[in-house]
Structure 1
Amino acid sequence: MDGVTVGGVRAAARIVARDDGRGGTSLPVLAGDGPLALRRTRGSGAEARVMLVGAMSGPLGGDHFSVAADVESGARLLVGSAAATIALPGQDKGGARYDVRLSVADGGELRWLPEQLISAKGSDLCVTTQVEVGATGRLVLREEQVLGRVGEEPGRLAGRLSVRVGGRLVLDQELVCGAGAPGGWDGAAGLAGHRAVGQLLVVRPEFAEQPMTARVLGESAALMPLAGPAALVTAVATDALRLRRVLDAALATFD
């Protein structure tokens, strides 16, 4: 761990997944520090599984966390988390940062399925997720944000997701909501009073020839094909449980 400073806690975690040559996936790099502890769990078939375990509260104001996962050719990896991440206010009045960098080589596969991110009252968190996928790589990425705990107003939450497939930018979007966010985020053109918002990104090589069809999924989600072998589902819900049900149902449409 880099340690606790006046500016908060700095912590990093890194995963490297590699084809072990025997029909499975090895993890030559599995390193986390401070609040970012990594644990390998029982996999399934060729897929290795890793859980991100929060060893401390946070991120708090002034903290800077970063997580990187690199999936090499032929490897398969699932990354989840043991519990929701809660952004909290801290003694440092500066905002917190959480940076995620994901890389999937040609022939690799990553399922990035963490639990929800909860923005507690008084918190200020900026999350950036940068993804690079090879032209024949495969990815499922789920992001879920919950604005405030039960009966609580949210803090400020800013998120940016950028995705490149085969070197081509297919998605670059930003969402800012909660306290201090630009006006309109909670209006009819924004979240319309919902307190949970999420997205599901699916990258598959076969989408290059057979792209998904844009359509509405139920009452609170929509599927959109992207300009590349990828599709994006965006959903809103009244709470985290309903949001997960919507996204799980959306993922089933890809099978």
Structure 2
Amino acid sequence: MTRTGVRADARIVARADGRGGTALPVLDGSGPLAPRRTRGNGVEARVVVVGAMSGPLGGDRFTLNARVEEGARLHLGSAAATLALPGQAPGEARYDVRLDVADGAELHWLPEQLISATGSDLRVTTMAELAAGARLVLREEQVLGRAGERPGLLTTRLTLRVAGRTVLDQQLSCGPGAPGGWDGPAALAGHRTVGQLLVVRPEFAEHPPAPRMLGDHAALMPLPGPAALVTALAPDALRLRRVLEEGRALLG
């Protein structure tokens, strides 16, 4: 790695193949981001992003772009957890995810957990741009520190736009250097993991799901548009995943 850090990009385009399935005319990656097609179910294409190197480290810049065209279905995940580590290059690391879903298309973005290790400084931005008739299932899970260690500084921003309208734009900062109170009773309250599940379905515009609690530290909330959000806290990654999967089952 150089003093300026590593630059890595991945591009994925999913397109209906005209036979009831989904083709992948673009499946490119560089450096640490290596997208690989796996076995799908005939209609849906499946892609796993493999981490070919450690990171992101300080100074790294990762970008992942996925576009799902009309009539296509894509299931996109990662092969393993992403581990944010301190690096030799100065400054924060960045991981930018851009998702673009057309009318009549569907995307599931379900990466494994993001772990913020001591001394790391990572900013993650996820922007989902959907047409009015698009469908999306998006899961984010953050783990604050490995076992027995304090976390690094982690800032995440999640933005959803449907038919040109902003439906959700939220940011969370945790760890040393984050705004005061991030670990207090009004925020994480000592929990080590936090996660979001975002589901967009056109039918939610007319029939939104009812708000409800999912245990003591998770809630399902309809958003002002064809979307719903589950936000959860948990003491560990296993229990966080269980709560988010419960929300996913409720939202279909």
- Unaligned 5+ segments in structure 2 are none
Structure 2 residue 72 is matched with structure 1 residue 86 = no
How far the C-alpha of 1:220 sits from its partner, in A, is 1.8
Aligned mates of 1:168, 1:94 — CA distance in 2: 33
Aligned residue identity for 2:166: L
Matches within 5 A, 1:170-181: 170-181=167-178
Among 244, 249, 252, the residue aligned to 2:249: 252
Among 34, 47, 51, the residue aligned to 1:50: 47
Among 216, 221, 245, the residue aligned to 2:213: 216
How far the C-alpha of 1:94 sits from its partner, in A, is 1.0
Among 172, 190, 195, the residue aligned to 2:192: 195
Contact 2:3 2:88 in 1 (8 A): no
- Unaligned 5+ segments in structure 1 are none
Q: TM-score by structure 2 length?
A: 0.99
Aligned mates of 1:82, 1:131 — CA distance in 2: 21
Q: Could you say what the CA RMSD is over the residues aligned between the two structures, in angstroms? A: 0.7
Residue identity (%): 73
Structure 2 residue 33 is matched with structure 1 residue 36 = yes
Contact 2:3 2:90 in 1 (8 A): no
Aligned to 2:130: 133
Stretches of 4+ moved more than 4 A in 1?
none
Contact 2:2 2:89 in 1 (8 A): no
Larger CA deviation: 219-228 vs 47-56:
219-228
Aligned to 1:6: 3
Aligned residue identity for 2:213: V
Deviations 1:35-65 (A, max 9, x none): 0001100001300000000000000000000
Q: TM-score by structure 1 length?
A: 0.98
How far the C-alpha of 1:199 sits from its partner, in A, is 0.2
Aligned residue identity for 2:192: R
How far the C-alpha of 1:117 sits from its partner, in A, is 0.3
Deviations 1:120-176 (A, max 9, x none): 000000000111011000000000000000000000000011110111100000000
Structure 2 residue 143 is matched with structure 1 residue 146 = yes
Matches within 5 A, 1:69-108: 69-108=66-105
Aligned mates of 2:206, 2:245 — CA distance in 1: 25
Aligned mates of 1:160, 1:198 — CA distance in 2: 12
Aligned residue identity for 1:148: G
SS of the residue corresponding to residue 207 of structure 1 reads helix
